[in-house]
Structure 1
């Protein structure tokens, strides 16, 4: 019995109760939290946030860790979490601000700004401490890095942790998940959405997604002006980005194309391009037709190949000479879940998935050049990760002044590593720096980080949690959180629909991304078979994540 008591309560003769005690408590909190996170009620789960609630229960019963060890593990977990997020979103961060994504990101900024404004109003009207309000804000928009950034900013400002930040987060989070889904459902009825029409438009990828996605289209050549001309002669005339993947002549013979392939009247071609360019390309070549290329009796195959050779990092498609050397054609490139047109000047990155079309032999030769070795990718590149974390800690510790804020502002251990990881993952390939990690490796680092962080936050906040909720008006925080969750989503949804003329499925993806809310994205994806919600979410998520982290810090530093 004495052994069990020392393990659970800690040995008085050892620092912090002993290593075994600390590891046991931390492991149990994380394990029980993850188990509860798998439970779904009405199809909704709180996921890893259950770790926070289990930590609060353990902390309430005084089963906690040494406060210095708790602080270190919490910050280390936060660094791992935000750095892995930066590696994931970095490749698409800056491209999201191009024409197609600019409007979507402006809408996400509107949503973030509205939620911050509502939080400030609640702070002024209710006399609730700003630390609590920021915790409620982070929970209401389900943004864990914002919680970490707020705690770190408060620690830098006052030299102590503020458990009420975690309490506010814990109270507001459940309704942050449920309230977001209810808001998206309400928008469908408020906007009187015709789901059939909306889905048909979303399937075509038109509107604001037309520059962010690619679409295949089958055409028949009826333009006499291009009869007997080669593809390299035609490309400058069209003045659009497109790739001709396959061609079938009027006699039914199907073959792969290259720059010297001649086009003739009556030929049928498969073109890959952005939806915004499809109409112009169709008018130029002829007319759209319905062809099921995969059902054709042909010696051509289509295969997705993974770029795994480090020497290809940063090289353009034209430098590979796949068509000239092997008679195969790269028709599209998938990066971070988004398909890109395989333009000759497109730079490849480790982990890209390219679609290669050609004969079985040609595709096999191309596969050897490109890599396609999962074994190679399964070996993580740890040097860029830890150098990036070190640089992130340095950047996060540099103070700088902003007008109107008396204290120097720091990006902290949430903002610094996040910015560095975004920059390294985006620009590393230009300097031959291998930053790629497999999705599974990135997810493992991220889940370990968030689990450590939430467990430590819960253990630290558990002691006074029940007292605060029952006797100090903490139950009112649920209402504050609901207002912060629902009001900005509904207002932004109306602006996006009537002001920006967004497709409904794109809109709910954007709103889910603006709240960095994976359960809301899962709900959005279930509403349609198209990928419009996922594309909208991925487009705004990087900026929304960055703004949520930064705004949480600014609120603490400006009003704390």
Structure 2
């Protein structure tokens, strides 16, 4: 017993230093009890031996825990940032992305300044999350992307050029006017543009000898100036651009929601239904067709089989037969008897005025009326069908199927009795499951229904291709030119969505709930990781009046160009305010800003022009960063 007691005491002593910070905040450590029993303190110590232990009490221990467990930091920043982002002051709110960035930066700054804890989270996590966001966004805008290029490609390029030129002039000449040391101008361009790669081309100019520092400065000091300017301007511009882009339409007197709806109508070419593969494509919505149940009384129906009735009365498709509270199997082609209850689906006008007289009195039998309706896209794969009109197809008996929309080469066509169906078209049909499958078989295709199946195969392959295209780099005079992985992945999503909108048999629509979650979580997790790594750099850059100049010039370089570009886009190019906003945030290379205008407008249409100006200004910003260094 003595040895056992000594052992417990030793364990207690060994674990005294490994106290979980939240426990201390509640009431301090629990003192071990005598008698050789297991104490709460020992249990806490044993648990903390199995996770990363903290060695400090109170808030110090709390921030140490976040440093030891980066995943805890990311999740806490996501939770608190999303919560803060929901609150608004006079109609203005941060949103979840800016809220997450703000929370993360504050936490990392407190940890560095108060406790000397530097948070570092591997950049691969943030990079991957950003690419997930870009791919998910591409999935949503894919069907509209190419029509967007045709409608306003030159205007999008012009907006990108305006943003780039003004940003470079403000940052370069602002740093020169303020008398800032070499390196600061390049860092300001990089941070205000939120393009970290600009630091890389600046370092390349130093390493290659294209820029030689003054005799009283070292290459390392110039590099430190770049990093400090980047950190200060990055944080301020990241938060500022999210708010600016979000409220640009409101600042200039536009209604973001109304303009987004107008832009969606403009870019759809007058179509009223989402194309195959687009989110929300397979929703029934309003239909003039309805279900009604009637009790068979008229002799014209009695004694005939279902197939005979379908041939004799094609305008009255029977979906279900109920006899003595039992649903009959339609595959057995039952003979209709007097008193049976039949469920039909047709135009509401016809059902009200005609079918009651044709069949018998209406019935409220729940078995007869409970026929689930579905909507599905069917790719026409039969050459025998090609060339027939919808009127001709309906005359053959539809089994309760209604045509909701007709698409050819990804474009919606006007719908009417004389609309012809061709091989390769996509028909959007509504009706009961069995009838949909029968119609699909007749059309030579198969039913595409909403699905929750995994998208991992498409996601991984498409993102891999987009990523490899994005990193393909061409060096000209030491300057790397590349599309960029973000642009590569959004174009991969565009490609997948565009292809599937024309060939829905390759997976059908991506489930909107899964796509939306991927988009929101990917971006906010990226921002959370970024905030942890940027916070310490902000602390190191504090000191003297230099920080004031960096904050002023960096903020001006981040916010003035988008204001001017948006005005030019709406007033000179005549763009819809949401389209101009999307092109502006692409020109500013601000993915969080794009998400902000999407949230504000309730539409993803702003993402249509984004890749065009984004890809252009990414290349121009790298060139500009290189020359800002060698001209210093």
With the length of structure 2 as denominator, give the TM-score of the two structures: 0.55
TM-superposed CA distance for 1:518, in Å, is 4.7
**Aligned mate of 2:559, from 478, 482, 485:** 482
**How is 1:204-215 mapped onto 2 (pairs within 5 angstroms)?**
209=266, 212-214=269-271
TM-superposed CA distance for 1:35, in Å, is 1.9
C-alpha distance in structure 2 between counterparts of 1:157 and 1:317, whole Å:
66
TM-superposed CA distance for 1:333, in Å, is 5.8
SS in structure 1 opposite 2:405? Answer: strand
C-alpha distance in structure 2 between counterparts of 1:431 and 1:120, whole Å:
45
TM-superposed CA distance for 1:171, in Å, is 0.8
TM-superposed CA distance for 1:326, in Å, is 4.7
Change (3 A) 1:424 1:556: same
**Aligned mate of 1:4, from 12, 16, 20:** 20
User: Is structure 2 residue 242 aligned with structure 1 residue 168?
Assistant: no
TM-superposed CA distance for 1:458, in Å, is 0.6
SS in structure 2 opposite 1:434? Answer: coil
User: Is structure 2 residue 36 aligned with structure 1 residue 36?
Assistant: no
Change (3 A) 1:116 1:370: same
Change (3 A) 1:547 1:206: closer
User: Where does residue 405 of structure 2 map in the other structure?
Assistant: 332
- Kept in 1: contact 2:383–2:423 (CA 8 A): yes
SS in structure 2 opposite 1:129? Answer: helix
C-alpha distance in structure 1 between counterparts of 2:555 and 2:260, whole Å:
36
**How is 1:459-478 mapped onto 2 (pairs within 5 angstroms)?**
459-466=532-539, 468=541, 471=544, 472-473=547-548, 474-476=550-552, 477-478=554-555
Larger Rg: 2
TM-superposed CA distance for 1:73, in Å, is 1.2
User: Is structure 2 residue 519 aligned with structure 1 residue 446?
Assistant: yes
User: Where does residue 81 of structure 1 map in the other structure?
Assistant: 133
User: Where does residue 59 of structure 1 map in the other structure?
Assistant: 108
User: Where does residue 121 of structure 1 map in the other structure?
Assistant: 169
Change (3 A) 1:423 1:409: same
TM-superposed CA distance for 1:117, in Å, is 1.7
C-alpha distance in structure 1 between counterparts of 2:619 and 2:447, whole Å:
43
- Kept in 1: contact 2:467–2:485 (CA 8 A): yes
- Kept in 2: contact 1:93–1:543 (CA 8 A): yes
Change (3 A) 1:8 1:340: farther
User: Is structure 2 residue 144 aligned with structure 1 residue 92?
Assistant: yes
User: Is structure 2 residue 530 aligned with structure 1 residue 457?
Assistant: yes
- Kept in 2: contact 1:305–1:370 (CA 8 A): no
C-alpha distance in structure 1 between counterparts of 2:73 and 2:260, whole Å:
49
- Kept in 1: contact 2:162–2:565 (CA 8 A): yes
**How is 1:44-55 mapped onto 2 (pairs within 5 angstroms)?**
44-46=92-94, 47-55=96-104
Change (3 A) 1:181 1:81: closer
C-alpha distance in structure 2 between counterparts of 1:478 and 1:459, whole Å:
21
Note the aligned Cα RMSD (angstroms): 5.1
User: Is structure 2 residue 470 aligned with structure 1 residue 396?
Assistant: yes
Relative to structure 2, which stretch is displaced further, 153-162 or 84-93?
153-162
**How is 1:97-176 mapped onto 2 (pairs within 5 angstroms)?**
97-98=149-150, 102-103=151-152, 105-127=153-175, 128-138=184-194, 147=195, 165=230, 167-176=232-241
C-alpha distance in structure 1 between counterparts of 2:529 and 2:264, whole Å:
45
C-alpha distance in structure 1 between counterparts of 2:521 and 2:458, whole Å:
19
SS in structure 1 opposite 2:89? Answer: coil
C-alpha distance in structure 2 between counterparts of 1:294 and 1:470, whole Å:
75
TM-superposed CA distance for 1:106, in Å, is 3.2
Change (3 A) 1:209 1:392: closer
**Aligned mate of 1:413, from 477, 485, 490:** 485
C-alpha distance in structure 2 between counterparts of 1:518 and 1:207, whole Å:
17
- Kept in 2: contact 1:326–1:366 (CA 8 A): no
C-alpha distance in structure 1 between counterparts of 2:385 and 2:204, whole Å:
50
Gaps of 5+ in 2: 1-16, 22-51, 57-63, 176-183, 208-222, 274-286, 290-313, 315-345, 356-370, 586-593, 627-632
User: Is structure 2 residue 583 aligned with structure 1 residue 514?
Assistant: yes
Deviations 1:415-434 (A, max 9, x none): 33333333333236659643
TM-superposed CA distance for 1:460, in Å, is 0.7
Deviations 1:333-382 (A, max 9, x none): 699x9966567459678xxxx764789997796599864644xx111221
